[in-house]
Amino acid sequence: MKQSEVETQSNRADGLFVGKTPKFFQAVQRLAEETDAAERE
């Protein structure tokens, strides 16, 4: 499991995203995956 997935799951478990839509979670996950894939210049 990637770090971004662990952090997203942890934040959900903490109740940080209570009431957010599935579309919101898709966007957050996409951003996290893009961050994991990014390379430093």
More confident position, 23 or 29 = 23
Cβ 29 vs Cβ 1: under 8 Å: no
Domain that holds residue 26: 3-37
State the Cα–Cα distance between residues 26 and 17, nearest whole angstrom.
12
Asked if the model's pLDDT at residue 36 lies above 70, the reply is yes
Give tens-digit pLDDT for 6-19: 666 666 667 777 78
Q: Into how many domains does the chain fold?
A: 1
How confident is the model at residue 41, as a pLDDT? Answer: 61
pTM over 0.75: no
State the Cα–Cα distance between residues 32 and 10, nearest whole angstrom.
13
Of 18, 25, 15, residue with least CA distance to 33: 25
